[in-house]
Amino acid sequence: MLTRPDVAVVGAGPVGLAIAWRCAARGLRVTVHDPAPGSGASHVAAGMLSPVAEAYFGEHELTGLLAESAARWPRFAADLAEASGADVGYRADGTLVVGLTADDLAEARRLWSYQQGLGLPITPLRPSELRDREPALAPRVRGGAVAPGDHQVDPRRLVPALRAAAERAGAVLRPARVGALSEVDARVTVVAAGCGAADLTGLPVRPVKGQVLRLRAPGRGAPDFRHVIRGYADGESIYLVPRDSGEVVVGATVEERADTEVTAGAVLRLLRAAVDLVPELAEYDLVEATAGLRPGTPDNAPIIGSLPGRPGVLVATGHHRHGIVLTPVTADLVTELIVTGEPDPLLAPFTPDRFGKERRWN
Ligand code: GLY
């Protein structure tokens, strides 16, 4: 590409690649800058699309955006399959939220009562109903609920599919690190660099470490359970994400740290909770233990929109625990903003200017 691009996207994780794809598909000239596409948080992510099970106290605006994006996912996955020729493993089996002990169940119930109060689809189940749905659960699991609209995709299939779709639409990947925004020359620059956005923009994005395990069913058949399971087990909060390939993702720690070391203690806690909830997992192969850095923000919500004082610079970062679910809505809203110049009202709670003049909180 010899002419100046219309859009330069800094960061080739799911959010950056989806923006690149959508913009290129609208006829814009797009470059994407990243020395190692898909090597950030998405490489570790489990891929839960959980607008309900991840609706937490005091985050109702974020919950609205999660629900909006989750509703866009089926169409997004279908469009992406058509544009890339690849399947991203979208599965709509739903999510079970379970508690191992009476205390765990009380904690889970507090959260799902709040979620029901918001009108979100989550339905408590009797223990027998729970086990009918998922016989692989341990008999001593005290109870749970089902969130039928909380689905999943496989982030490790998503990134190559997005890259193929973006490149087929004409986007050009530049495999180099961008150390400062002055190194990029385009009509619009979009910073979608996860934790790297902090240095590039001064916005308050900080790393939040998550340690994650990947198990594999013996014989490489599919796991014996189909739902995503979010469980409270002796005070640990974990999730189990089964894939058709036989993989089960077990996550995750939430640590205010910036390293990506895997610790014995975290592996022990995740495995103990996993096996307490689904005993057959003790027979699975442990194939991977990794840690990634979620881009966290002071209010746990993403930062999407124009960077104050920097005409032509947009930001799409700070997706924290929700990068995968928020990919479609982020890409759609940023693309519309670039094409029309008008921010969608959905963006109002998430714009970079909400942090005021004090841009560096971390
Ligand atoms: N969304 C799951 C996590 O961040 O661990």
Write the pLDDT tens digit of every residue in 179-220.
999 999 999 999 999 999 999 999 999 999 999 999 999 987
Predicted pLDDT of residue 362: 36
CA of 323 from ligand 1 middle (Å) equals: 9
User: What confidence score (pLDDT) does residue 315 get?
Assistant: 98
**pTM for the full predicted model:** 0.95
Atom of ligand 1 nearest to the CA of 54: 1
Q: Based on the domain organization, do 231 and 285 belong to the same domain?
A: yes
Beta bridge partners of 147: 95
pLDDT at 361 over 50: no
Beta bridge partners of 286: 215
Q: Whose CA is nearest to atom 2 of ligand 1?
A: 321
Whether 18 and 123 share a structural domain: no
Q: Average pLDDT of the chain?
A: 95
Q: What average pLDDT does range 284-300 have in this prediction? A: 97
Are 220 and 347 members of one domain?
no
What's the confidence (pLDDT) of residue 305? 97
Sequence-ordered list of residues with C-beta below 8 angstroms from that of 168, at least 6 positions apart, any chain: 83, 84
d(CA 248, CA 224): 10
| Residue nearest atom 1 in ligand 1 by C-alpha distance | 321
Place of tokens 């992406």: 80
Instruction: Locate the ligand 1 atom nearest the alpha carbon of residue 212 and give its number.
Output: 5
Cα–Cα distance between 247 and 286 in angstroms, integer? 10
Q: Domain check: are 125 and 174 in the same one? A: no
Q: What angle do CA 292, 299, 76 make, to 5 degrees?
A: 60
CA 58 to chain CA mean position, Å: 20
Instruction: Report the nearest-CA residue for atom 5 of ligand 1.
Output: 252
Query: For the chain, how many structural domains are there in total?
Result: 2
Tens-place pLDDT, residues 263-284? 999 999 999 999 999 999 999 9
pLDDT of residue 357: 55
Domain span at residue 250 reads 95-145+207-295
Which of 268, 295, 322 is the C-terminal boundary of a domain?
295
Look at residue 60 in the predicted model and tell me its pLDDT: 87
Q: Are residues 285 and 235 in the same domain?
A: yes
3-state DSSP assignment of residue 310 = coil
> In this structure, are 171 and 247 located in the same domain?
no
Query: Rounded to the nearest whole angstrom, what is the distance from the C-alpha of residue 355 to the centroid of ligand 1?
Result: 24
Q: Which domain-ending residue is among 261, 295, 329? A: 295
What does the alpha-carbon distance between residue 75 and residue 316 come to, in Å, rounded to a whole number? 21
Cα of 38 to ligand 1 centre, how many Å?
A: 16
